[in-house]
Amino acid sequence: MRLAIEIVQLLIQSADTWLFEETLSGLSDREWMALRFLARANRFSRTPTALASFLGTTRSVASQIAAVLQSKGLMVRKPSAEDKRSIALCITGEGERFLERDPINALRDQLVSLELPDRSRLRDTLRHVLDGLDAGKRRHRADVCSQCVFLIESGAGKERSFKCRLFRKPIREKETTLLCTYFEGRS
């Protein structure tokens, strides 16, 4: 128990580098979270509903957050290429440049300095912890397509292709590293 408490305290201290009260660079914590998510979300997850799911909030609150990001020129709403009845929330070039000043980049840079096996173990351990937290709250976590049960990979080399079984759509290899709110982990 003592070690677990120490780990929690270390996580809290690391959060101090990128969580803050009120705003930083004109954005609140939730707005930063939304911007980060939209920058890393796959095309199926760039919707107000998916954003609400990721933030653990209502669609109304997520729409308000998106409106703030849009008013600052960091995001735009576009008709969805997948479903013309819905909209896609897309990061602008200004939003991408803004993310270069993201306070969380300091934590990312420290993680990059770890040896690859240590980074992999930390990632896997955090995934395991998040799975337990999500199960306890009966909620669904976003994660990358490459770890999803719905991803189908076929072929090799230049003939390699990917498809999402859930959406029954082909996806590019680059998209397999993006976040999806419809993620289902492989057991």
Asked if the structure places residue 154 within a domain, the reply is: no
Asked if the structure places residue 173 within a domain, the reply is: no
Asked if the structure places residue 128 within a domain, the reply is: no
Facing residues of 143 across strands? 180
Total domains, the chain: 1
CB-neighbour burial class of residue 14 (10 A; exposed 0-12, middle 13-18, buried 19+): middle
Asked if the structure places residue 144 within a domain, the reply is: no
The CATH number of the domain where 27 resides is what?
1.10.10.10
Asked if the structure places residue 27 within a domain, the reply is: yes
pLDDT tens column, 104-140: 888 899 999 999 999 999 988 988 888 787 766 666 6
Q: Record the pTM.
A: 0.84
Asked if the structure places residue 181 within a domain, the reply is: no
pLDDT tens column, 17-43: 777 666 767 888 899 999 999 999 999
Range of the domain at 66: 19-113
Alpha helices in 16-115 (DSSP H): 29-40, 48-55, 59-71, 93-99, 105-112
Three-class secondary structure of residue 12 per DSSP = helix
Asked if the structure places residue 80 within a domain, the reply is: yes
